[in-house]
Structure 1
Amino acid sequence: MATITSAGAGSGIDLESIISASVEAKRSQLQTPVTTKKTNTQINLSGLGKLKSAISSYVSTLKDMTKTGAFNKRTVEIKQDEDNPVYSVETKTGASNGQYDITVNQLAATSKFTGTFTSSTSALVTADATLSFGAGDKSFTVNVKAGDTLESIRKRINNNGDNFGVTANIINTASGEAKLVLDSGVTGAGNDMTITGTGELSSFSSNFTQTQTAQDASITVDGNTLTSDTNEFDDSIVGLSLTALRVSDTDPSDVTGATLKSNQLSITTDRTGIQDLVKGFINGYNTLVSTANGLGKRNSVVAGESQDDGGALAGDSVTRSIVNVMTGIVSSKSDQSSVYSYIFQLGIEMDKDGVLSLDEDKFNEALDNNFEQVVALFGGDDGVAGQLSSALEVYSRTGGLLAQRQDSLNSDLRELSFKQATITEQMTKYEANLRAQYGSLDSLLVQMSQSLSYLNLIANSTSSS
């Protein structure tokens, strides 16, 4: 008998369609629950990822607010020529509001020496020697080789790996002489440079004349003279870093020209900067609440039919828990301030939908009247920002609640992938069994058809005789 390559080929019945329909029905029966669960799991994973990211972003904002000095934002105003400033100022942690009359009396200076030589290209030494330079507590030594010229010595000084800042330059004069100009690079009174030599260079320093003495910078602040061995005055006024840029202008009211004019420095609270900090708190809060509510939104039902318009975490209690935690903290009484018990006393408002906003005028009034108390209410680990940060990190941190949920869902996906592979194997076996069964049926129908044809042939023969 010829091999049947397609179910029903022998009998003429479309058994192939029956097999296909049976396989698809069975596949759907097994596959649909897996596909549905896999899709829902992936949607939940995506939703948790978005929620975790939103929390992490807000926690970062909150942690910035809890840092020491986060609210210590100050505005610096100096009455001086902006194109040719006398000094510059930066505020640091601990800066306070205030006004100061500041005069720059002199800038810090390095010591300078100039030596006169007959030539920059003629050999200065016929045997190896050394040159040593010192300034303050710094020093280094240069090895000079036989035949070295002034030019090569200059290079040895400038390129020495232990050089603490000495620079050497050569000026070739019209008279043919060469002048070696040395700058110590070290400022501050008492830090004049020393030059000593060995061998033929033992009298090297005698060729030099000191043209500038190392000196401190000097400023006067409200009548008090302050000095620094550099032009930096760091915390001479607590919380401020002042850099002297040039000597102050002569006071025009002094006809002798002996008096220098002061330039007034004003340090005030940077209300705009602090407002921006609090606005960041509010915007981050509103964004996270909106994200959580959107992800947890349930599907709406119209005429008994779900509209599938819910969030990725529709009905998940975690979104409501996060919103409740946040609302609870910002609405709770705080004992961090002796003046304010609630952030709503500072001009922060919450509408019926839980959205925060800021009354800037009321907030500025609080800053002007009780700056430190505003900071106490918000800042630090125990302030509102710190409490929110700690509470939300329970959800977003590595190994936190959301991470645990994600791990569980990823485990579910691995199991579903295994079930998918099992279904594929089951369907292969199922189809093979169907083909075997329908193949047998097809063969039986062929045999029956052949038998019927034979019987009809006999019957017809008998009738004819």
Structure 2
Amino acid sequence: MAVSTITGLGSGLNINDLVKALANAEKAPKQTQIDLQKARTDTQLSAVGMLKSAVETFEAALAGLKSSATAFDGYKASSSKTDVAKVTMGAGAVAGSYKLEVTQLATASKVASATQASTTYATGGKLTVSVGSNDYSVSIDDGASLTDVRNAINDQLSGAGISANIISDGNGGSRLVLASETTGAGTDISVVGENDLSALNIVGTDALDGAVPGSAGYITPAADATFKIDGLEMSSKTNTVTNLSGLSIKLEEAGTTTLSVAANADGIAGSVESFVMAYNTLLTVTNGLTKVTQTTDANGNATTQAGALVADSTLRSMMSQLRSALSNPVEGAGELKVLAQLGVKTNRDGTLALDKDQLKKTVASNPEGIKAFFTGEKGLFNRIGDITSVYAGKDGLLASREKSLTDAKDALATDQTKLDLRIETLTTSLFKKFNAMDSLVARLNATSQSVLATLNALNKKGSDD
């Protein structure tokens, strides 16, 4: 608690200014130390956070390129009419052009029962639903309604890819409609019911005559897809076909399209360029954090400004490892060993530059090797990932460094609180001491004046005698 004083009653001294000056003199050395350490810690904490973010962004860019199904594929597959068929490429594809004629898509069975005169089934029992040679049994309770039958089918056969619904004809009659997710000839839906559930019997290969209430059968028959590749007739039970080596073709509708497999020069060039940009972005951040700049102050004197992480061992070690990863030969990519063979070269400032003409030549001569070079088990991206994973992430060295700096900042805040408390205590003590001194001086002055007054009185009496 601060002690106040009235200045100068005894000693005439400005006690407030004296105490303030003494307290400030005591506080200044430690306060300067805390301020310098806090500024240094804040600067380093910001710099480490910036570096950590840059490394994680670099990691994410490489992960995106590595996870892309086509980023470094040597070949690219395309369809001239994607509304007829879409194509994706897998292993084993070779360059070429193929004419695809789709005459019919594969279809799944959809059937309807006869119109039901009664929609309540007193005896219930078992309803057998067959999809081709696969039989599924559905238990129906006594007294079930047509809605209950539909719900039972949906509950018990959803895992088999079978669904049911009810269609009303507007004249009081209703039909049970079943649909399958399984396409291809021979997978027609048939229904056989026990007891009064036999009213729901359906022969899936019979055509439904919607105009005849007693008619039951298929709305859509199960059928194979039929198509031609370069005039060769083919069929498939599904609309995804793999008749061309290395290609997965998704049939969309009847029609004709041209499927092409060609060198993926532009795609690979874009992926390599993305890698170069990602590395250069990281390097720009690290260069900024370690840059030393010679400048002059307002008076024309030479000064030096240094980046927050100049001579930082963690940053130096990481960048040294990354440079080695980029320059050392890669295994497992055949004749491709170094980035220079792909047209990627290092500038004098350490950034990477891409010669697209050189890259296109390499793509033309060794398209498959490029993918192995970057994304193979022993490829460049795995090598770089082994390095950056040590530094990035919540358990990385940079996160640990951030925590240490944060702890140091908290410790400085504690030191500041202790210093403020110590100076407050000192100030109180000084006020007490100066106030006591001031009171003593006041008493001494009063005593002095009393003695002088007595002596003056005695001297005057002696003179009168």
How far 1:12 moved relative to its partner?
Answer: 2.8
TM-score normalised by structure 2 residue count: 0.81
Cα shift at 1:191: 1.4
Q: How many angstroms does 1:133 deviate by?
A: 1.6
Q: Indicate which of 232, 248, 253 corresponds to 1:246.
A: 253
Deviation at 1:30, TM superposition (A): 1.9
1:143 and 2:150 matched: no
One-letter amino acid of the counterpart of residue 279, structure 1: E
Distance in 2 between the 1:29 and 1:167 partners? 85
Q: Secondary structure at the match of 1:102?
A: strand
**% of aligned pairs identical?**
27
CA distance 1:179–1:65, shift in 2 (3 Å): closer
Give the letter aligned to residue 293 of structure 1.
Answer: N
Partner of residue 218, structure 1 = 226
Map Cα deviations across residues 373-400 of structure 1 (whole Å, 9 max, x no partner): 3233323242233222222222224443
Q: Which residue of 2 aligns with 1:79?
A: 80
Query: Is residue 2:194 matched to residue 1:187?
Result: no
Instruction: Specify whether residues 135 and 440 from structure 1 end up closer, same or farther in structure 2 by C-alpha distance, changes over 3 A only.
Output: same
Instruction: Label 1:452 to 1:359 Cα distance change in 2 as closer, same or farther (>3 A).
Output: same
Residue aligning to 1:162: 157
Structure 2 CA distance for aligned equivalents of residues 112 and 327 of structure 1? 63
Q: Quickly say closer, same or farther: Cα 1:157–1:208, change in 2 above 3 A.
A: farther
Give distance in 2, aligned partners of 1:182 and 1:208: 15
- The answer to whether the 8 A contact 2:106-2:224 is kept is yes
Shift in Å at residue 285 of structure 1? Answer: 1.0
1:356 CA displacement: 1.5
Partner of 1:97: 95
Query: 2:55 aligned with 1:55, yes or no?
Result: yes
Instruction: Name the CA shift for 1:306/1:291 in 2 (closer, same or farther; >3 Å).
Output: farther
Aligned residue runs from structure 1 range 262-281, under 5 A: 262-281=256-275
Partner SS state of residue 108, structure 1: coil
Amino acid at match of 2:54: A
Q: What does residue 86 of structure 2 align with?
A: 88
Matched, 1:227 2:235: yes
User: Matches of 2:435 and 2:191 in 1, distance apart?
Assistant: 110
Q: How many residue pairs are counted as aligned between the two chains? A: 441
How far apart, CA to CA, are the structure 2 residues paired with 1:177 and 1:67? Answer: 55
Range with greater deviation from structure 2 (36-45 or 238-247): 238-247
Cα displacement (A) at 1:22: 0.8
CA distance in 2: counterparts of 1:61 and 1:342, whole angstroms: 20
**How far does residue 72 in structure 1 lie from its aligned partner after superposition?**
2.1
Q: Supply the AA of the counterpart residue of 2:22.
A: S
CA distance in 2, matches of 1:185, 1:318: 58
Partner of 1:252: none
Two-structure CA RMSD over aligned residues (Å): 3.4
Q: Verify the 8 A CA contact 2:128 2:192 in the aligned structure 1.
A: yes
Secondary structure in 1 matching 2:55: helix
Distance of aligned partners of 1:31 and 1:305 in 2 relative to their CA distance in 1, 3 Å threshold: farther
Residue correspondence of structure 1 range 30-49 to structure 2 within 5 A: 30-49=30-49
Tell me the residue number matched to 1:289.
Answer: 283
User: Secondary structure at 1:273's aligned position in 2?
Assistant: helix
Shift of 1:108: 1.5
Q: Distance in 1 between matches of 2:44 and 2:76?
A: 47
Within 2, Cα distance between the matches of 1:35 and 1:165?
73
Give SS of 2:87's match. Answer: strand
Aligned position for 2:209: none
Provide the rounded CA distance (Å) in 1 between the counterparts of 2:144 and 2:363.
Answer: 73
- What corresponds to 1:348 in structure 2? 344
Mapped contact 1:296–1:320 kept (Cα < 8 A): no
